[in-house]
């Protein structure tokens, strides 16, 4: 059974600060792994060596992986024994990272932050294939890091229906433009099934503080729902299935069509389950929802 | 672009390219590199694209090919070379070829178009389909920032062509529809200065862009990849009907047209398909449109299939001849008799080829020297 942990912020302020994210992450990591501390949790999840943090920065500041979330997780990694220069925050391009507020750093000092388009990085010489998808993969994923934390933003997507864990891996390949037909099905599944992506992704930390439930992947303020959560999992299919449930419930609350009714069915989740990438059946997912107070106090919660 | 990409683009062409980094130029152009600003490109272009419309509520819809990609801000179309910049659609590859070469025109292949001449050939990154068998996937399936590009304006392309005394320009290797604006401007300038342009394409282009482009072109070679819809859906990632419609449009416009069909074992190699293709061509385009069958080699997403057996190609040739097509050729089989052109009336050999080489050209102008039959093409 795949576990998905939804950690909701139990306060009325916006909460998007490094301090709040830190509290949510510590609670979420412990619950995800059944470990007593975030240090043990991260050591359990991640092998030693360089660790990547694949952000989602295509939508600039308002709909990208928040800088405070990345800062909070970076510090937890350092506390867990990772060297700061072994942490690599990355995205497809430097332009996207900078536009989302990240400070680029490709040097040998401090936490690295770089796009695949950085001089000397680029894409793999090896060609990877999973059925309909054939791609080169970012050398950050294939050569620079030993493991990766996938850090998507949960949101609506004008073509895929849902952008979450699997869709974020489009930023790791050289030809994402070839993977959008048929509402990204089964492309999303097969991009995540490319060997280096499937084997190096060890943890997913999905931002769900403000959910763009319609009009995504860009920022459209009238369709933003203040959900106030981060979602953690190891299984990319299960976390997307839970994410889909959340987005669909918000859409229903707001009185707009479901993604399927809107002509954007999220079929790639079933396709991913079919090839063994994870669990797509909500009934088979071990869903844990907790609420975390400003002072770190925890209580049981519900999705809504 | 990686070295292997260049080597692949060069193929078995005569001109060797010694390009391993962006500071070097193709060897065949080495002697002219100081004659113009031609050199490695440092950034992508942002020239406004043609054939798009702005959508209500934001975003644009591209109209250059039948995909009609709807693209939101800072996203790209399927081709990966056109990007929405605040609802102005721009081409990222204008003046930025990633492959340059001088090839025999027979390599395109165009067999009825000034035989024995050369073509200054260029391509940018990107393509509007995703053929599983693509031999040039390292450029066609890449985005322009993933290839090493040259900065070469239309003016510079024409000047280079003239300096090398090459009479033809070929837009080839990837899919020129996706660098439409660049192709158009070079073609227009070249035509005014006596250079002929040929488009080597999959034919997956919209009607209006093609209509406006054709007056600038001298010939088009179309890859008719199959006569079956499902092949286009499953193997090409496109649609058959728009391609067939454009073929008819080209023919009606009087454009010199040749067709190529890559025969892929188990996927498009049945007798019925060869027959249906021949019948469609004869009915809709005419018996005098040359059809080239070429041999598949495992690559890209189809490494599991074998090379097309020579016998299969010969079967395709025989079927199409029996259906009444006048000019059917076999490619990638150097030395095969079906590489040569024969008079459909008296059977005399008109142009004898071996690979891309012309061994003998017996045409008298555009007529058979034996029976005086007119041979279609541009000679």
Least Cα separation, residue A247 to chain B (angstroms): 21
pLDDT of residue B19: 30
Question: DSSP states of B137-198 as a string?
Answer: HHHHTS-GGGS--EE--HHHHHHHHHHTT--EEEE-SS-GGGGHHHHHHHHHHHHHTT-EEE
* CB atoms A217 and B72 under 8 Å: yes
Give the distance, in angstroms, between the CA of residue B288 and the centroid of all CA atoms in the same chain: 20
Tokens of B269: 């190699």
Confidence check: pLDDT of B30 > 80: no
Locate the chain B residue with the closest alpha carbon to A133: B301
**DSSP state, B352?**
E
Nearest to A288 by CA among A33, A11, A21: A33
Sole residue written with tokens 């391509």:
B123
B75 touches chain A (CB under 8 A): yes
Please state, for a pLDDT cut of 90, what percent of chain B lies above it.
85
Mean pLDDT of the B221-246 span: 97
pLDDT of residue B42: 80
Confidence check: pLDDT of B16 > 60: no
pLDDT of residue A295: 83
B125 touches chain A (CB under 8 A): no
Phi first, then psi: give them for residue B261, nearest 5 degrees: -125, 120
Nearest to A58 among B2, B74, B145 (CB): B74
pLDDT of residue B5: 40
* CB atoms B146 and A58 under 8 Å: no
**Residue B323: pLDDT band with limits 50, 70, 90:** very high
Query: Which chain B residues touch A177 with a CB distance below 8 Å?
Result: 76-80, 143
Taking residue A107's Cβ as centre, other Cβ atoms within 10 Å add up to 9
Q: In terms of DSSP bridges, do strands B328-331 and B341-342 run parallel, antiparallel, or are they unpaired?
A: unpaired
Confidence check: pLDDT of B290 > 70: yes
pLDDT of residue B58: 86
Contacts of A276 (CB under 8 A, 6+ apart): none
Summarize pLDDT for B83-118 with one digit per residue, the tens.
999 999 999 999 999 999 999 999 999 999 999 999
* CB atoms A174 and B76 under 8 Å: no
Q: How far apart are CA B158 and CA B59, in angstroms?
A: 36
Nearest to B73 among A125, A178, A218 (CB): A218
Class of residue A126 by CB neighbours under 10 A (exposed 0-12, middle 13-18, buried 19+): exposed
**Helices in A34-175 by DSSP H: which ranges?**
38-45, 67-79, 94-99, 139, 165-168
* CB atoms A177 and B76 under 8 Å: yes
Q: In terms of DSSP bridges, do strands A87-91 and A51-54 run parallel, antiparallel, or are they unpaired?
A: parallel
pLDDT of residue B39: 75
Query: Which chain A residues touch B305 with a CB distance below 8 Å?
Result: none
Confidence check: pLDDT of B260 > 80: yes
Determine which of A130, A175, A212 to mutate to test the interface with B (most B C-beta atoms within 10 Å). A175
Q: How far apart are CA B335 and CA B332, in angstroms?
A: 9
**Residue B332: pLDDT band with limits 50, 70, 90:** confident
Confidence check: pLDDT of B24 > 70: no
Among A45-49, A108-112, B23-27, B370-374, the minimum mean pLDDT is found in: B23-27
Confidence check: pLDDT of B8 > 50: no
- Per-residue confidence in pLDDT tens, chain A, 304 aa: 699 999 999 887 767 899 999 999 999 999 999 999 999 999 999 999 999 999 999 888 888 999 999 999 999 999 999 999 999 999 999 999 999 999 999 999 999 999 999 999 999 999 999 999 999 999 999 999 999 999 999 999 999 999 999 999 999 999 999 999 999 999 999 999 999 999 999 999 999 999 999 999 988 999 999 999 999 999 999 999 999 999 999 999 999 999 999 999 999 999 999 999 999 999 999 999 999 998 889 999 999 9
Task: Report the predicted TM-score, pTM, of the whole model to 2 decimal places.
Answer: 0.86
Least Cα separation, residue A57 to chain B (angstroms): 11
- Return left, alpha or beta for B58; rule: phi > 0 is left, psi -120 to 50 is alpha, else beta: left
Mean pLDDT of the B42-61 span: 94
**Residue B143: pLDDT band with limits 50, 70, 90:** very high
B145 touches chain A (CB under 8 A): yes
By a Cβ cutoff of 8 Å, what residues of chain A touch chain B? 58, 93, 117, 122-123, 125, 127, 129, 132, 134, 136, 158, 174-175, 177-178, 180-181, 217-218
Nearest to B68 by CA among B57, B82, B85: B82
pLDDT of residue B25: 57
Helix (H) or strand (E) holding A154: strand A153-157
How far CA A144 is from CA of A51, A116, A122, A216, in Å, comes to 9, 11, 11, 31
Sole residue written with tokens 């050209």:
B361
Q: How far apart are CA A201 and CA A216, in angstroms?
A: 25
Mean pLDDT of the B223-249 span: 97
**Residue B264: pLDDT band with limits 50, 70, 90:** very high
Counting runs of H as helices and runs of E as strands, what totals does chain A give? 10, 13
* CB atoms A158 and B76 under 8 Å: no
Judge contact between A147 and A123, C-beta under 8 A.
Answer: no
Least Cα separation, residue B62 to chain A (angstroms): 14
pLDDT of residue B28: 61
Query: Which chain B residues touch A178 with a CB distance below 8 Å?
Result: 78, 80, 130, 141, 237
Least Cα separation, residue B54 to chain A (angstroms): 16
DSSP 3-state of B247: helix
Phi first, then psi: give them for residue B172, nearest 5 degrees: -155, -170
DSSP 3-state of A122: coil
Helix (H) or strand (E) holding B319: helix B310-322
What sign for the dihedral angle of Cα A119, A121, A126, A131?
negative
């Amino acid at each position: 059974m795949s576990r998905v942990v939804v950690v909701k912020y139990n306060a009325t302020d916006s909460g998007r600060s490094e301090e709040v994210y830190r509290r949510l992450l510590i609670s979420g990591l412990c619950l995800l792994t059944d470990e007593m501390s975030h240090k043990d949790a991260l050591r359990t999840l991640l092998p030693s060596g360089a660790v990547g943090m694949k952000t989602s920065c295509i939508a600039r500041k308002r709909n990208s992986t928040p800088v405070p979330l990345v800062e909070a997780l970076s510090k937890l990694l350092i506390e867990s024994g990772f060297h700061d220069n072994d942490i690599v925050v990355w995205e497809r391009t430097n332009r996207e990272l900078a536009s989302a507020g990240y400070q680029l750093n490709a040097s040998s000092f401090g936490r690295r932050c770089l796009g695949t388009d950085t001089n000397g990085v680029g894409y793999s010489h090896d060609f990877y294939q999973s059925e309909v998808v054939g791609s080169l993969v970012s050398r950050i994923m294939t050569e620079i890091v030993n493991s990766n934390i996938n850090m998507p933003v949960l949101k609506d997507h004008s073509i895929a229906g849902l952008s979450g864990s699997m869709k974020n891996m489009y930023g790791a390949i050289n030809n994402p433009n070839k993977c959008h037909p048929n509402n990204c099905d089964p492309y999303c599944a097969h991009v995540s099934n490319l060997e280096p992506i499937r084997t190096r992704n060890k943890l997913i930390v999905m931002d769900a503080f403000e959910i763009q439930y319609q009009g995504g992947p860009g920022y459209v303020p009238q369709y933003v729902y203040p959900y106030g959560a981060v979602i953690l999992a190891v299984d990319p299919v299960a976390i997307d299935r839970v994410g889909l449930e959340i987005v669909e419930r918000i859409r229903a609350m707001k009185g707009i069509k479901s993604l399927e009714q809107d002509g954007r069915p999220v079929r790639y989740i079933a396709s991913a389950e079919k090839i063994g990438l994870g669990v797509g059946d909500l009934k088979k997912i071990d869903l844990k929802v907790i609420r975390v107070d400003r002072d770190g106090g925890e209580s049981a919660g519900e999705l809504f | 672009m990686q070295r292997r990409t260049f080597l692949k683009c060069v193929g078995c062409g005569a001109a060797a390219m010694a390009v391993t980094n962006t500071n070097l130029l193709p060897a065949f152009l080495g002697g002219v590199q100081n004659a113009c600003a031609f050199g490695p490109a440092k950034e992508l272009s942002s020239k406004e694209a043609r054939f798009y419309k702005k959508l209500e509520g934001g975003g644009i819809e591209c109209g250059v090919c039948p995909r009609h990609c709807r693209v939101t801000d800072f996203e790209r179309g399927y081709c990966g070379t056109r990007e929405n910049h605040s609802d102005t659609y721009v081409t990222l590859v204008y003046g930025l070829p990633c492959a340059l070469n001088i090839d025999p025109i027979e390599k395109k292949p165009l067999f009825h178009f000034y035989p024995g001449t050369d073509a200054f050939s260029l391509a940018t990154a990107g393509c509007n389909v995703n053929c599983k068998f693509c031999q040039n996937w390292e450029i066609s399936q890449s985005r322009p920032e993933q290839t090493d590009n040259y900065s070469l304006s239309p003016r510079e392309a024409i000047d280079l062509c003239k300096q090398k005394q090459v009479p033809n320009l070929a837009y080839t290797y990837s899919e020129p529809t996706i660098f439409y604006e660049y192709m158009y401007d070079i073609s227009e300038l070249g035509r005014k200065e006596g250079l002929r342009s040929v488009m080597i394409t999959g034919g997956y282009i919209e009607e209006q862009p093609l209509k406006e482009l054709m007056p600038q072109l001298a010939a088009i070679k179309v890859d008719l990849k199959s006569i079956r819809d499902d092949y286009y859906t499953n193997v090409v990632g496109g649609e058959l009907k728009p391609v067939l419609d454009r073929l008819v449009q080209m023919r009606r416009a009087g454009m010199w047209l040749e067709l190529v069909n890559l025969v892929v074992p188990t996927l498009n190699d049945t007798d019925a398909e060869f027959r249906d293709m021949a019948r469609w061509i004869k009915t809709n385009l005419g018996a005098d449109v040359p059809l080239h069958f070429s041999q598949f080699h495992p690559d890209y997403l189809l490494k599991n299939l074998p090379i097309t057996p020579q016998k299969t190609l010969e079967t395709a040739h025989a079927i199409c001849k029996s259906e009444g097509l006048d000019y059917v050729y076999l490619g990638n089989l150097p030395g095969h008799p079906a590489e040569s052109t024969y008079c459909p009336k008296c059977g005399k050999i008109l142009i004898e080829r071996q690979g891309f080489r012309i061994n003998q050209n017996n045409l008298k102008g555009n007529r058979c020297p034996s029976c005086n039959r007119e041979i279609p093409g541009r000679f």
